[in-house]
Amino acid sequence: MRHLSPREAAALPREALEAHVVSLLRQCRNLAALRAAHARLVRLRLPRLTAAFALSKLLASCAETTSAPSYARNLFDRIPDPTAFCYNSLIRALSTPTVLSTAAGDPFLVYRRMLRAASPRPNSFTLAFALKACAAAPALAEGRQLHAQAFRHGLEPGAYVQTGLLNLYAKCEEVALARAVFDGMAGRGRNLVAWSAMIGGYSRVGMVNQALGLFREMQAAGVEPDAVTMVGVISACAKAGALDLGRWVHAYIDRKGITVDLELSTALIDMYAKCGFIERAREVFDEMVEKDTKAWSAMIVGLAIHGLAEDALCLFSRMLALKVRPNNVTFIGVLSACAHSGLVDDGRRYWSTMQNLGIKPSMENYGCMVDLLCRSGLLDDAYSFITGMPISPNSVIWRTLLAASKSSNRIDIVESASKRLLELEPFNPENYVLLSNLYASSAQWDQVSYMRKKMKENNVTVVAGCSSIEINGHLHKFVVGDDSHPEIKEIRLVLREIADWVRRAGHKPWIAAVLHDVGEEEKEVALCEHSERLAIAYGLLKTDAPYVIRVVKNLRFCPDCHEVAKIVSKSYNREIIVRDRVRFHRFTRGCCSCKDFW
């Protein structure tokens, strides 16, 4: 494009000059190009109105092409009478996740400044960009205030505002509110973005059936999905451990020719890993032409939760050799790999590596280190590490320490950890179950009764252990002593058969897992109908070798059921994969991949 001289610019009519500005900025693809264009425009000594127009267009281009909050603010401050377009452009520029994490990125201050100004008033675009910032932050309280303002000013019915509200509530896991917005949308307002946001919201909170059901509704409505939609669907399969569904969705993506971008590839890696098919996850990873930090991290975490510590750490070394910068999630995988294999020295070395790279540890990273030390029996080191943390330890960290103290006779640590835990979460049933477990293991039934009394006083209800298994694309869920399944009689016949194999193998039931002051026979019966055992029995009933039995449990694997699963894998010559809340257990020929270190 030919450069204008100041004299030529002065001779042009305003419309032509503004057209020149738009043409110049359209060529800018990055911050350096924008700065160069800005310098050229300054040299032209534009008239006041045209200069204001040029600055507003520069600001809009800045919002579209770069994450430079200081530069965007500087441009905005040079505009004498900012229009709604200018405010909207600045809010948009400050609303990306990268900018929001910096001190300069506060779009809410800009929005409040606009409210205080005599003019202009916020419009639908203002609210849409501000809601986008709330979703990215996430900032639910601010988002609800925006919702109220949209209602007061009659802007709520607008398609952009509704989509922004839906996305906000879905990202903040307020699925009931998100669904209310979705249901209130007009037929033509329900675009691809709205469907994808709602599916993603359901997936995020683990409402798998709702996510997949909505996906089927979307197909029936004739709305073609894109990569963003499929990330939500794939993530739902991952949470449920629904491998057959996940495979079908992957095939659907290929059949429809949906572009598999970095985010979707990473979701596929995560899905296959969480569904117990780590080999396929590795294939997807190896097939990727381009891999970013998220993809590397997903694969490392996947290998770690499968107990493949050596593979996870080798992949991490490869990542560093290729100059891919790791992040907090990468080190969750690395430190988890060390924890699941008892690699204390390696874990400490990687902790130093993370700090040397300038990566600020997250609460999850601290939790991994505590887990590593606790699993290796280093309670004093773990306690010192916790008390020396620069941030306040959360309940997960205190719970990890408390669980590790079970057989240690360290009353001081137990008392300190239990006190902190109940202060942080007085209404969490898991804490009372853990403490009851501690007391029951040493037959302190009075203390167990006291814990039950405290639960009743605080109106706390225990979350039942739940296990699910996918058979022919359908998820079957079981809880302990479940009578609701239509094939429960047949399942109990298999359980009796399993019990015969277990007795012949010489296994003695670990009745300490039953937290009730009842006779040993009653405890053995209770163990036989734990949810994971019911799911495994159903897998044996409905499938034949070499079909792999895959079970997902919401809590940690019962130690007695773990021993029984080893016997079942050998007696029935079946491969059994169980995903509990902590990791995967792969049973083959009487052995588990965890090597009993879990």
Residue pLDDT, tens place only, 172-191: 999 999 999 999 997 778 89
Rounded-to-integer distance, Cα 267 and Cα 275, Å: 12
Mean pLDDT of 460-488: 89
Burial of 498 (C-beta count, 10 Å sphere; 0-12/13-18/19+): buried
User: Residue 34: pLDDT band by 50, 70, 90 thresholds?
Assistant: confident
Counting Cα atoms < 13 Å in the Cβ hemisphere of 358 gives: 1
Range scoring the smallest mean pLDDT among 19-33, 203-217, 271-285, 387-401: 19-33
Rounded-to-integer distance, Cα 391 and Cα 444, Å: 34
In a domain, 505, yes or no: yes
Mean pLDDT of 278-294: 97
How would you classify the pairing of strands 474-479 and 466-471?
A: antiparallel
In a domain, 189, yes or no: no
pLDDT of residue 597: 80
Rounded-to-integer distance, Cα 411 and Cα 400, Å: 15
> Which tops the pLDDT comparison, 47 or 584?
584
pLDDT of residue 511: 59
DSSP state letter for 343: -
In a domain, 191, yes or no: no
Give DSSP secondary structure letters for 455-503. HHHTT--PPPPEEEEEETTEEEEEETT---STTHHHHHHHHHHHHHHHH
- CA 121 from chain centre, in angstroms, equals 37
In a domain, 502, yes or no: yes
Mean pLDDT of 481-503: 93
Phi, psi of 474 (to 5 degrees): -115, 135
Query: Closest Cα partner for 379 from 345, 361, 406?
Result: 406
Q: Is the pLDDT at 202 greater than 50, yes or no?
A: yes
Token look-up 């750490």 returns 313
Domain that includes residue 516, residue range: 466-592
Rounded-to-integer distance, Cα 512 and Cα 559, Å: 10
User: Residue 144: pLDDT band by 50, 70, 90 thresholds?
Assistant: very high
Q: Is the pLDDT at 68 greater than 90, yes or no?
A: no
Query: Closest Cα partner for 44 from 73, 24, 30, 69?
Result: 24
- As a whole number, the mean pLDDT across the chain is 89
Mean pLDDT of 202-213: 89
Range scoring the smallest mean pLDDT among 41-50, 378-387, 513-522, 587-596: 513-522
Mean pLDDT of 108-137: 91
Q: Please, what is the angle between helix 208-220 and helix 227-240, to 10°?
A: 150
> Which tops the pLDDT comparison, 520 or 103?
103
Tokens of 20: 């020149």
- CA 279 from chain centre, in angstroms, equals 22
Rounded-to-integer distance, Cα 400 and Cα 406, Å: 10
Mean pLDDT of 428-443: 83
pTM for this structure? 0.84
Tokens of 277: 């098919």
In a domain, 580, yes or no: yes
The residues that bridge with 550 in the sheet, in sequence order, are 577
Q: Is the pLDDT at 101 greater than 80, yes or no?
A: no
What percentage of the chain reaches a pLDDT higher than 70? 95
C-beta of residue 557 within 8 angstroms of C-beta of residue 585? yes
Q: Is the pLDDT at 75 greater than 60, yes or no?
A: yes
Range scoring the smallest mean pLDDT among 17-26, 275-284, 532-541: 17-26
Q: Is the pLDDT at 529 greater than 90, yes or no?
A: no
pLDDT of residue 521: 46
Q: Please, what is the angle between helix 262-274 and helix 293-305, to 10°?
A: 0
Q: How many domains does the chain have?
A: 1
The 10s digit of each residue's pLDDT in 342-359 is 999 999 999 999 999 999
Q: Is the pLDDT at 12 greater than 90, yes or no?
A: no
C-beta of residue 418 within 8 angstroms of C-beta of residue 399? no
Mean pLDDT of 472-499: 92
Rounded-to-integer distance, Cα 327 and Cα 359, Å: 7
The 10s digit of each residue's pLDDT in 230-254 is 999 999 999 989 999 999 999 999 9
Three-state secondary-structure class, residue 117:
coil
The 10s digit of each residue's pLDDT in 322-349 is 999 999 999 999 999 999 999 999 999 9
Q: Is the pLDDT at 58 greater than 60, yes or no?
A: yes
pLDDT of residue 449: 87
In a domain, 554, yes or no: yes
pLDDT of residue 549: 97
In a domain, 512, yes or no: yes
C-alpha dist (Å) from residue 65 to 53, 82, 91, 102, 126: 18, 21, 14, 18, 19
What percentage of the chain reaches a pLDDT higher than 90? 59
pLDDT of residue 519: 44
In a domain, 528, yes or no: yes
- Specify the amino acid at residue 277: F
Q: Where are the beta strands (DSSP E) in 73-198?
A: none
C-beta of residue 582 within 8 angstroms of C-beta of residue 556? yes
Query: Closest Cα partner for 531 from 498, 550, 515, 554?
Result: 554
- CA 443 from chain centre, in angstroms, equals 39
